[in-house]
């Protein structure tokens, strides 16, 4: 699998995965000019774009991506909230598998303060790889078998939660709607990772995360290469450009 992070964080998120057959974009949270620039002006090569929820740092350029000829798949609730229609908009039901090219995709409910947020489990019929993509979720309710790649939020560390200027309500929201480093480690320990090949940590807080520590500890826990996707870096399958 080829994975690319164009941007990751509160100012915008966009990624791609490619199994050798079908390229997919995950999130469109950058302004379209910046997204085109970081994607090498090749948006039209994407088979589809998956959107996890309606917040602007994940959905900002949805209409522009559709105008570029790319189908957008998101939950029915998210599509309705964004008031986004047209033949390129493909709403799905959370919990029901759908196919895009060589990918079989299962959207499952995320825990976030959005209308109908989802995470995605992607299985490639072409390469046999199974990818978990989970961002903006307080925790994950499920266990998974046979994961080969994990792309997952590690937003903050409990010991760093007081960094910055969050008030009590802001801290409560953060804890309830974003994945902490500690919760991520518990989630990984709860799953069978015997087929895992790599881990990509996304949506790290600029003030409340420690990328070097996160990378080292997750790599030690899983025994697999681990990479941190940071806001202003383009990362191609673990190699920063």
Over residues 42-51, the pLDDT tens digits come to 888 999 999 9
Tell me: the pLDDT tens digits for 109-136?
999 999 999 999 999 999 999 999 999 9
86-114 pLDDT tens trace: 999 999 999 999 999 999 999 999 999 99
| pLDDT, mean over the chain | 95
Would you say 202 and 229 are in contact if contact means Cβ atoms under 8 Å apart? yes
Tell me the per-residue pLDDT of 147-180, one tens digit each, with 9 for 90 and over.
Answer: 999 999 999 999 998 887 788 999 999 999 999 9
Give the tokens for residue 81.
């909230």
Look at residue 117 in the predicted model and tell me its pLDDT.
Answer: 98
What local confidence, expressed as pLDDT, does residue 183 receive? 97
Containing structural domain, residue 21:
2-240
Angle among Cα 77, 131, 24 to the nearest 5 degrees reads 65
Decide if pLDDT at 56 tops 90.
yes
Are 7 and 29 in contact by the 8 Å Cβ rule? The answer is yes
Number of domains in the chain: 1
**Unique residue bearing structure tokens 């990918």:** 103
232 has a pLDDT exceeding 90: no
Angstrom distance (rounded) from CA 60 to CA 49: 13
* pLDDT above 80 for 241: no
Q: Is 12's pLDDT higher than 90? A: yes
Query: If you average pLDDT over residues 203-210, what whole number do you get?
Result: 93
CB 135 within 8 A of CB 51: no
pLDDT of res. 163: 83
Predicted TM-score (pTM) above 0.85: yes
For residue 44, the domain's CATH number is 3.60.15.10
Residue 41 has pLDDT above 80, yes or no: no
Q: How confident is the model at residue 218 (pLDDT cuts 50, 70, 90)?
A: very high
* pLDDT value at 40 more than 90: no
- For residue 113, give every residue at least 6 positions away whose Cβ sits within 8 Å of its Cβ, in sequence order, or none: 173, 176, 177
């Amino acid at each position: 699998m080829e994975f690319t992070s164009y941007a990751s964080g509160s100012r915008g998120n966009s990624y791609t995965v490619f199994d050798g057959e079908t390229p997919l974009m995950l999130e469109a949270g950058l302004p379209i000019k910046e997204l085109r620039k970081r994607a090498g002006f090749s948006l039209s090569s994407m088979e589809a774009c998956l959107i996890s929820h309606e917040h602007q740092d994940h959905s900002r350029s949805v209409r522009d991506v559709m105008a570029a000829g790319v189908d957008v798949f998101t939950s029915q609730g998210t599509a309705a909230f964004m008031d986004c229609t047209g033949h390129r908009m493909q709403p799905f039901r959370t919990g029901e598998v759908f196919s895009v090219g060589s990918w079989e995709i299962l959207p499952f409910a995320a825990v976030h303060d959005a209308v109908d947020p989802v995470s995605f489990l992607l299985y490639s019929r072409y390469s046999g790889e199974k990818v978990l993509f989970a961002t903006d979720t307080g925790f994950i309710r499920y266990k998974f078998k046979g994961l080969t790649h994990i792309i997952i939020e590690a937003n903050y560390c409990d010991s760093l939660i007081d960094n910055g200027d969050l008030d009590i309500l802001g801290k409560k929201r953060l804890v309830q709607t974003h994945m902490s480093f500690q919760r991520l480690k518990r989630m990984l320990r709860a799953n069978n990772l015997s087929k895992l090949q790599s881990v990509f940590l996304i949506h790290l807080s600029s003030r409340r995360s420690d990328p070097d520590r996160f990378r080292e500890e997750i790599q030690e826990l899983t025994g697999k290469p681990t990479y941190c996707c940071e806001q202003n870096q383009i990362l191609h399958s673990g190699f920063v450009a």
